[in-house]
Chains A and B, each alone.
Chain A
């Protein structure tokens, strides 16, 4: 639960819907718009693993009939939180539908490298192309800091916006919204280099954009380019947001969930609202629940999805991210802080590339949950090919507050028992460090199992530093601290 990136299509839908609806903080220079925005034209094309590419595209033509309007031109791009798509050749501009369709078809479900990350292209966005003259591409970005929200604005936007920090005009909107700047101040700070004639339109747009930012609890919102096409006598302008990246605060779901949902409902998107058929899912709000996609190239594997699902169903916290499934170093760490400390220690021991997973279990999971969690990690470790130097497993953790260490360790022990022969076959060294209530019993039990199953195991208690076993295991360091023998 934190600030999370959202899809461009979702961000645009939210803006489009709420720009005319979110309450303005102070009156803008323009009168309140009499009509709301028409539904946005956002064709989202999603290609799951088992999808037939042609089928998806055909279905899209039926769902978004405007794609087939003769003479229309489109923009097609992947919508998967990829930054700088233009530079990676992932932007198809000014295409007819048949060209755009072919472009998507050639890329859908294909592996793609973006900078250093490999991922599969699965989600595309197709929108009408907005032709605009040179010099009309602006840049605006709002981001939150402790003191308030910074608005960055520059009239030189576009793909080559460059170093925004250096060249953009900045305005801090304080947390206390009664201190919101006047229209004159906004124009004077942000619009210095913009023709006077479009000031009113832009101040109005910025005010409304910021109102949405507040009302829908964004934590980051970048529009680049923001296209401002002045009318003939340069007294007013049309504003289009062509490319958008945003983060919203997932924790605000209880306040804003309804606003996020309604903006993305079929009605708001101008899609036919099919009657209540058998497959129609009942959602909590008047639209689909917010989708927080994983970063590009970080699609959840089956195991990660399984742990995430378990996590969602309990009050305990169970997290698993696979970093390198062929890595030699695996972790089974209790506690959010401790898990980071372990990852740090492994990296600083020179094993960042061999670190197989990041994850943690905490918040008093039951023995069964711990078992399933441990079992999943062990299975992943033992499924990967053997390594001549063997593998290392850290069963680590901090000093628990209330968790009965003995009972969570029961789950871990059960999982170890299940795979004991494989642990030997893969030459897995096991290093244990844990403390907290009843740790003596827990360590005693796991040590006994290690001896019984003849595992290569070392066990430490609270006199060992939380992650002190990492240099011992990976760098062959020695320590004066004795192994636990309770």
Chain B
């Protein structure tokens, strides 16, 4: 982390108002922060967080970190509250974050020691480690005396481990918030992790500036409600902590209530307890003993529990009453008896809080400060997009498949329907290649082509290449690709050529005989015609299969008929000039594209031009090439070396001859 890079002095934080200061490169828009010039004077004991609090976030949680930085920014903090990220799995060196509309770089540390040494001003940690690893990581973190508090976010920390953590923390004087909490917030100063949620919530509850009410809540979710209630009925939140819903939270109500009592800026305390546990009673004792004198507005949720016929485990692990004392009803009564302001129902709490606040306001105990201007918050791109507020051109377009939803879609068809309707590989091809369902016979024809082209023995050039590559010890993909790369106009390309020539002739209106004559005149072979062995009397069964299927199923097979007419011309010259399997597939495929009703004439033409027939061959033959690879591996064949006696060596004899002509080999055929 280049921590000594110059600090940008122009007000890049207030956006693009300055035309002449517009950043020229992305780097110009990165905000860098200097380390504090002198160590801060230690805060008082009751102050857990303040506007210069610096923390580490343990675990890779970019969204939470961004939320914290956004909060810092709208609170007009000079430096971000997050000094760095500790991520023991390592990898990244820095993490890029927004600071307002500009960007900043946060260091990512692999080792805790290094992070601590680099940032002696950090005294708190937001620990996002999982329930499995949070125990060891928290114990490690507590080894460093600079750490005063740790928030543990994980849910499902075993109770024994939680108790061990809090026991060690007590001995070392570390404040633990959590486990199973969202954290806490100190308006205008510091926010733990995801507390408060989206910036909209934070602004709506005025959490960018301090009020004079402090709360402790068991539930993190309900802390949003408290923020809202307090903002609506008083001058706002001074500090709020959610201690977490587990049975053994690291710190409980009393720990924070005593801090709040000691902080002169806090005028009203709010306690939101819950069924289960006995921690509320310690606050009652503190009030009775006079340790806490500030007014407390309180409620314990879960009063319903006693009224239900059976045991219900509510959302929180700790919300289960093991005795009368732990019920919410009992707690509310005890708190009320001790002089807390306890409403009859939770719904009446806002009104009661409002009344308590008004009383203090009248008495002059609370003096609300002037409202600052509501800060503007930059809206996140992803969120703005979700709300449909912005748009931007996409760099890529895909029209065939979509993996973002509940189910994978092939051209709009959910993958479960693909199986339900049993559309086969031909159906999948038609969806992905042509973005439409083709008639069943078309799918079956595609499958037929794949089956027919799958392999043609080891001697053909593609298979040969695959075999040789395999025997050189290469992997499946290399072997497959070396075979595929031979496919072109000579090997496997007969399909494309045949389709082209036959179509052209047919579309020009040449009669089959004229077509054969023209080709002969041009000294061209007709692709798709001729076979080494097979002949009219010894027909190729593969061709018979295709012909039969197409004639039976296709609505029209004009080009096949045309090709067969051509065949009857050529076979009259020589018996083995038959329509071969490549030619047959090619013309049938054209028939399919033209006549199945799914394509317009232009579309059909287009697909042919794109080389879809080659695709068909590549796909089919891949089956065979992979088979050859597996076969060679299975046979454990060694490296292939071609025998010398199978190569004719014709080398020039060097020496002699004019410069430039020496060593020329003249071969005349």
Specify which of A254, A343, A399 is in contact with B304 (CB 8 Å cutoff).
A343
Within 8 A of B (CB), among A360-383: 360, 362, 366, 368
Neighbouring B residues of A358 by C-beta, 8 Å: 308, 312, 314
Q: How far is A42 from B310 in the complex, measured between Cα atoms in Å?
A: 29
Instruction: Specify which chain A residues have a CB less than 8 angstroms from the CB of B201 in the assembled complex.
Output: 399, 401, 436-437
Chain B residues positioned under 8 Å from A466 (CB to CB):
222, 225, 346
Would you list which residues of chain B between 372 and 421 have a CB under 8 Å from chain A?
Answer: 383, 386-387, 406
* A1 CB-CB contact with B under 8 Å: yes
Interface string of B130-167 (1 = CB under 8 A from A): 01100000000000000000000001111111011011
Does B311 lie within 8 Å of A344, measured CB to CB?
no
Please pick, from B204, B221, B302, B383, the residue contacting A362 in the complex, using a CB distance under 8 A. B221
Q: Which of B294-330 contact A (CB under 8 A)?
A: 301-304, 307-320, 328
Distance in angstroms from B292 CB to nearest chain A CB is: 20
A214 interface residue, CB < 8 Å from B? yes
**Residues of B contacting A317 with CB < 8 Å?**
315
How many angstroms from the CA of A231 to the CA of B44 in the assembled complex?
65
CB distance from A294 to the nearest CB of B (A): 9
| B242: nearest chain-A partner, CB-CB | A337
Q: Does A346 contact B (CB under 8 A)?
A: yes
Give 1 or 0 for each of B335-359: 1 = CB within 8 Å of chain A CB: 0000000001111011000000000
Q: Is B614 an interface residue (CB 8 A)?
A: no
In this assembly, does A240 line the interface, its C-beta being within 8 Å of a C-beta of chain B?
A: no
B197 contacts A344, CB within 8 Å?
no
For the complex, is B200 an interface residue (Cβ under 8 Å from A)?
yes
The answer to whether B221 and A323 have CB atoms under 8 Å apart is no
Smallest beta-carbon distance A343→chain B, Å = 4
- Would you call B570 an interface residue if the criterion is a C-beta within 8 Å of the partner chain's C-beta atoms? no
Task: Judge whether B346 and A467 touch: CB under 8 Å.
Answer: yes
Task: Pick from A217, A341, A360: contact of B301, CB below 8 A.
Answer: A341
Q: Cβ of B445: which chain A residues have Cβ within 8 Å of it?
A: none
Question: Given the complex of chains A and B, what is the CA–CA distance between A1 and B666 in angstroms?
Answer: 86
- Is A399 within 8 A of B158, CB to CB? no
| 8 Å CB contact of A398 from B224, B304, B310, B319 | B224
Question: Looking at the complex, which one of A339, A352, A360, A401 makes contact with B307 (CB distance below 8 Å)?
Answer: A352
Cβ A249 vs Cβ B304 within 8 A: no
Shortest C-beta distance, A479 to chain B (Å), equals 10
Q: Across the interface, do A402 and B197 meet the contact criterion of CB distance under 8 Å?
A: yes
Residue A172 is within 8 A (CB to CB) of chain B in the complex? no
A402 touches B198 (CB 8 A): yes
Q: How far is B328's CA from A352's CA once the two chains are assembled, in angstroms?
A: 15
**A470 an interface residue at 8 Å Cβ cutoff?**
yes
The number of residues on chain A lying at the interface, defined by a beta carbon within 8 Å of a beta carbon of chain B, is: 66
Interface membership of B245, Cβ < 8 A = yes
Identify B159's interface contact among A144, A295, A341, A347, CB under 8 A. Answer: A144
User: Which residues in A have their C-beta under 8 angstroms from that of B309?
Assistant: 116-117, 323
Confirm or deny: B215 has a beta carbon within 8 angstroms of a beta carbon on chain A. Answer: no
Chain B: CB-nearest residue to A342 = B304
A-chain residues with CB within 8 Å of residue B347 when the two chains form the complex: 345, 465, 467-468, 470-471
What residues of chain B lie closer than 8 Å to A252, measured between beta carbons?
158-161
Contact of B232 among A343, A368, A400, A463 (CB under 8 A): A463
| Bitwise interface map of B from 480 to 504 toward A, beta carbon under 8 Å scored 1, else 0 | 0000000000000000000000000
Whether, in the assembled complex, A283 has its beta carbon less than 8 Å from a beta carbon of chain B, the answer is no
What number of residue pairs across chains A and B have CB atoms under 8 A from each other?
181
- In the complex, the answer to whether A251 meets B131 with C-beta atoms within 8 Å is yes
Residue in B198, B247, B314 whose CB lies within 8 Å of A437: B198
Q: In whole Å, how far is A320's beta carbon from the nearest beta carbon of chain B? A: 11
B228 located at the interface, meaning its Cβ lies under 8 Å from any Cβ of chain A in the complex: yes
* Most A Cβ at <10 Å: residue of B196, B309, B344: B309
Q: A398–B222 contact, CB under 8 A?
A: yes
Contacts of A352 in B (CB 8 A): 304, 307-308
- Whether, in the assembled complex, B262 has its beta carbon less than 8 Å from a beta carbon of chain A, the answer is no
1/0 per residue A327-346: CB within 8 Å of B?
A: 00000000111111101111
Whole-angstrom distance from the CB of A188 to the nearest CB of chain B?
25
Residues in chain A near residue B247, CB distance under 8 A: 2-3
Asked if A136 is at the interface of the complex by the 8 Å CB criterion, the answer is no
Our pick among A249, A338, A467 for the contact of B158 (Cβ within 8 Å) is A249
Q: Which residues of A contact B156 (CB under 8 A)?
A: 1, 251
Output the nearest chain A residue to B223 by Cβ-Cβ distance: A337
A: residues with CB less than 8 A from B are: 1-3, 116-117, 144, 146, 148, 174-176, 214, 217, 219, 249, 251-252, 254-255, 295, 297-298, 317, 319, 321, 323, 335-341, 343-348, 352, 355, 358, 360, 362, 366, 368, 398-402, 404, 407, 435-438, 441, 462-463, 465-468, 470-471
Task: Please list 29 pairs of residues, one from A and one from B, whose beta carbons are closer than 8 Å in the complex, sorted by A's number.
Answer: A2-B313, A2-B316, A3-B320, A117-B309, A217-B158, A249-B159, A252-B160, A317-B315, A323-B310, A336-B221, A336-B316, A338-B225, A340-B319, A344-B303, A346-B304, A347-B307, A348-B304, A352-B304, A355-B304, A358-B312, A360-B315, A368-B406, A398-B225, A436-B201, A437-B197, A437-B198, A462-B228, A465-B225, A470-B347
Question: Which 5 A-B pairs rank lowest in CB-CB distance, beginning with the nearest?
Answer: A336-B315, A401-B197, A2-B317, A337-B219, A252-B158
Q: Chain B: residues with CB nearer than 8 A to chain A?
A: 131-132, 155-161, 163-164, 166-167, 182, 194, 196-198, 200-201, 204, 219-222, 224-225, 227-229, 232, 245, 247-248, 274-275, 301-304, 307-320, 328, 344-347, 349-350, 383, 386-387, 406
Not counting A321-B312, A336-B314, A358-B312, a sample of 18 additional A-B residue pairs whose C-beta atoms are within 8 angstroms of each other reads: A3-B159, A175-B163, A175-B164, A251-B317, A254-B132, A255-B158, A319-B315, A336-B219, A339-B314, A348-B344, A352-B307, A398-B224, A399-B227, A401-B201, A436-B201, A437-B383, A438-B387, A465-B346
